Structure 1
């Protein structure tokens, strides 16, 4: 394809531009199109202009009386001509002569033309680099586009065919300054619709669309994102492939009262240089066509450039037997409202929140999923030692959330309304896990929970992140559960920056689905219990720092004397959850007893707060200091008593001091030993159990 600058001083400067199109390699591209309808042209040679005489189909239907061949088909251009009926393009031949519906005729032509091969690739596919995309456009581009816009008319056959085939209203062509140039506008020019690419009010690219769907472009054009200027003042955008899909999507969204800009890529790609245009855009909805280039190039590159945290891929749900591949094709079979409802619109919010808005927000209720325990938007970390019945605890939590029952039958943990749960479980054999589900959840509503079991989900793998996002967009869960943390990533748990990548993905889920809470099951380190709280978790402290709520579990050897139920200890910590109180109304961080039915594994609690002995090394250090009395205890005596290294004792003493424990440190200079004393109040012996 080339563009010729004609040196004719008698023509206006804008008339010197000619949009040339790639030529079809087949010498008679429309022969096979017409032969099924005109058997008499099979094997016959056309005249110099490409015409072969044939009998008019209307004469066979007795619509006019000429029984001799009064028609001809052009096997090169596709024109069908009858001396009585007139001339018809292939589209009009299908609709007006054969009587096909417009959508079926359009699809038939698209499929036929798709098989045609061109001599060279259109120049518009060779997108110039971004550094030259905003130079002054070639002289005459603005004038050319302006004159082409003046020649556009709804009465033009090429325009009528285009609008009918794509289902687009004429008003959109004029709004976006589309135009028209006739055949011979300058020597070598084919008749086509003109599509301008505009940046900052200047035409930087000109694309032409021929009657048969071929696309051409003017040399020197910079084919950036079409309708780029519409992004101004918005924080969301829709991107499709091709200007026709963009116009049809704009038309559909406007009919539903949705004001979101729609852009299109000039080909099945997305360039890194375009990223800067999306500053301030928090969500981009990508609507690809149903073909491999669109998914492998357009979608893959857009997600890579813009980031998967703000890209939402909207897959058109084609049904079996439906014909087509793009938005225009899909909307021939579906309504505008169906497309608008298909897009999972995110709530738009300002970057800034005013002080007044904050004060108003403070008056609202916390959006609890489980009252006083888990709220929408929370990231929850559930932990315990190995074999501490964590998975059974999660199944009890799912039961409450899905059915609307009080969690653990405790009235303080009521469920506001039944929730939808998505559970990603990466441990346990399929049969054994299914039996656990049947034992505890056989009577909950089936649609209230979906399971992903041992699929190898990895949050540090973009493929699985996309699968999860797609599943959540489809199901819209209120609670997303991952069990356990160690199975949903391939990182080193002790490295904070590596675990940060995993938690970044979890945080993105919360941002993308703000009405859902995310819960992750994690293991305690060796010899850790509920008494050590956040420090009990294995690996980097990044996991503890990322969570909003901590639920700590520990299995005991005790049973309830009255029921025979096994006893678990449960301790809570979180930013927003109400603190636990003892029987006198005093705030306490002690543990709750949870009773586990040995047959059904159903868990309950009465809210009793129990005193838990700290058996960790840190707890033993603290206990030695407390028991030393006014004289204190020397550093070396602590080391000898516990049989651990100096560094271990130093680390735990630093932790006690960081927690503002009333522990003093004296000496350590010269020959004086370092002495530690407890200066807080000594706790009196209390009953092992106090009522909350």
Structure 2
């Protein structure tokens, strides 16, 4: 396997294409270099060709994240012990059953430091959604994406960007130490979502007794971000002027009915009319969405404390596809089954929320909570 003119690995195969021959030694490509470099975050691609393609994408996109080539379907415990050198591991699995078992084993052994990525296989074309017929490995996936890009005019679809996007916002390990001298010139913050009230890139909690307007305030936050108007009409609480546009906002509602409660309330807030006509609401939508905001409202039966549940999978698929800037969960008690007075149990919920926070650009999450 040649990268930049240098032999970086040798693949061993025997009769009928069999690999991992008896008495032969294989080793993950790039593992030694990544350990020596002291890299906190690494990416793993299964197989030599996937390693090369992912390495090229990472380099092209200007990232310095080391890429490791995982040789086939072997998972010796010795390799896993070496992976403990890294704080975050992004495992790009292939689309077959063997790869699923490998990635699951690594995930089970190494815990929260591992994030298993399945590449999105659906692309929305002019009037239909097409699913990749292969998805066997990264290279086959890239061929499909390139075909759709060339034949269906998906010019805004960047294959390399799609491959590396999971590496751009990996939650970094917390190794922050400040001296008093450092505090003379405080580090620059990520900025504001709502000036002087809601910072960017954080997980926040909106809490209070039942029926005191938490959901209404959350829906008003969407309106404020979409229109630039002050939050809840309070002049000092305006959206930051440097927010990315169009701003992508995802509202995940698990506490109320979308058609009977949430959507009518959102229509009312956007129009200032308790019972707006479709034409009135349509006019507002056209005005605020033109290059300004993209809002999605969803119900997924989400359980953030159970990564194996269908709702968690639906959430990650939606986040992978939409890649939002802001996510609002409504409500905390409805998206987990842990004991909320137990710090150890709630740590699972918060850690998984931080994992989901990696799906997006400088993501800010607001969680609505009943006292």
> Structure 2-normalised TM-score?
0.73
> In terms of Rg, which structure is larger?
1
Asked if 1:213 corresponds to 2:17, the answer is yes
Q: Which residue does the alignment assign to 2:193?
A: 369
Per-residue Cα deviation, 1:629-660 (whole angstroms, up to 9, x for no partner):
xxxxxxxxxxxxxxxxxxxxxxxxxxxxxxxx
- The whole-number CA distance in structure 2 between the counterparts of 1:476 and 1:170 is 31
- Provide the rounded CA distance (Å) in 1 between the counterparts of 2:132 and 2:138: 16
Q: Distance in 2 between matches of 1:472 and 1:391?
A: 21
Instruction: Answer 1 or 2: higher relative contact order, Cα 8 Å, separation at least 6.
Output: 2
SS of 1:460's partner is coil
Q: Pick closer, same or farther for the CA change 1:430–1:176 going to 2, 3 Å.
A: closer
Which runs of structure 2 are paired with 1:281-292 in the superposition (5 Å)?
281-292=86-97
Q: Which residue of 2 aligns with 1:458?
A: 303
Specify the alignment match of 2:121 in structure 1. Answer: 317
Choose the corresponding residue for 1:326, options 137, 154, 157: 137
RMSD: 3.5
Give the match's secondary structure for 2:255: coil
Query: Quick check: 1:303–1:311 contact (8 Å CA) kept in 2?
Result: yes
Q: How does 1:424-503 map to 2 (within 5 A)?
A: 424-433=252-261, 434-441=263-270, 442=281, 443-444=284-285, 445=288, 448-453=294-299, 455-463=300-308, 464-503=311-350
User: What secondary structure does 1:217 align onto?
Assistant: coil
CA distance in 1, matches of 2:27, 2:9: 16
CA apart distance, 1:424? 1.4
Residue pair 2:320, 2:359 contacting (<8 A) in 1 also: no
What SS is found at the alignment partner of 1:382?
strand
Q: TM-score when scaled to structure 1?
A: 0.42
Q: Deviations over 1:392-427 (max 9, x none)?
A: 221111111233221122221010136422211112
Change (3 A) 1:406 1:271: farther
The alignment covers a number of residue pairs equal to 325
| Unaligned segments of structure 2, at least 5 residues | 123-129, 147-157, 271-280
Give the conservation status (yes or no) of the 8 Å contact 1:283–1:310: yes
1:343 aligns with 2:164: yes
1:39 alignment counterpart: none
Query: Compared with structure 1, are the counterparts of its residues 240 and 403 closer, same or farther at alpha carbon in structure 2 (3 Å cutoff)?
Result: same
**SS of structure 1 residue aligned to 2:269:** helix
Q: Separation in 2 of the partners of 1:170 and 1:483?
A: 48
Residue 334 and residue 427 in structure 1: after superposition, are their counterparts in 2 closer, same or farther (change >3 A)? closer
Separation (CA, whole Å) in 1 of partners of 2:134 and 2:181: 50
Alignment CA distance shift 1:224-1:373 (3 Å): same
Structure 1 pair 420/289, CA: closer, same or farther in 2 (3 Å)?
A: same
Distance of 1:393 and 1:303 partners within structure 2? 38
1:283–1:346 Cα contact (<8 Å) kept: no
Give the match's secondary structure for 1:215. coil
**Stretches of 4+ moved more than 6 A in 1?**
none
Q: What whole-Å deviation, never above 9, does each CA across 1:162-194 have from its counterpart, x for those lacking one?
A: xxxxxx75865x52264xxxxxxxxxxxxxxxx
Instruction: Give the aligned partner of residue 264 of structure 1.
Output: 69
Instruction: Note closer, same or farther for the CA distance 1:309–1:400 as it changes in structure 2 (3 Å cut).
Output: farther
- By how many angstroms is 1:371 displaced? 0.8
Describe how 1:1-400 pairs up with structure 2 within 5 A. 175-176=7-8, 178=10, 195=11, 207-208=12-13, 213-219=17-23, 221-232=24-35, 233=37, 234-254=39-59, 257-268=62-73, 270=75, 273-295=78-100, 297-308=101-112, 310-315=114-119, 317=121, 320=131, 325-332=136-143, 338-344=159-165, 345-346=167-168, 351-352=175-176, 355=179, 358-359=182-183, 362=186, 364=188, 367-400=191-224
Q: Is the 8 A contact 1:256 1:340 kept in 2?
A: yes
Paired with 1:382 and 1:483, the residues of 2 have a C-alpha distance of 10
Cα deviation per residue 1:259-316 (whole Å; 9 max; x = unaligned)? 4332233334645553332234233222222223223x12322332333454151505
Preserved contact between residue 42 and residue 65 of structure 2 (Cα < 8 Å): yes
Q: Does 1:518 align with 2:342?
A: no
Gap change, CA 1:492 and 1:356, over 3 Å in 2 = closer
Could you tell me which of 420, 424, 443 is aligned with 2:248?
A: 420
> For 1:462, what is the secondary structure of its paired residue?
coil
Q: Do the aligned partners of residues 480 and 277 (structure 1) sit closer, same or farther apart at CA in structure 2, a change above 3 Å counting?
A: same
Contact preservation (8 Å) 2:319, 2:359: no
CA distance in 1, matches of 2:306, 2:232: 36
Residue 448 of structure 1 deviates from its aligned partner by: 2.1
**Partners of 1:209 and 1:251 in 2: how far apart?**
28
Uncovered stretches (5+) of structure 1, i.e. residues with no partner: 1-167, 179-194, 196-206, 525-692
Q: Separation in 1 of the partners of 2:98 and 2:110?
A: 19
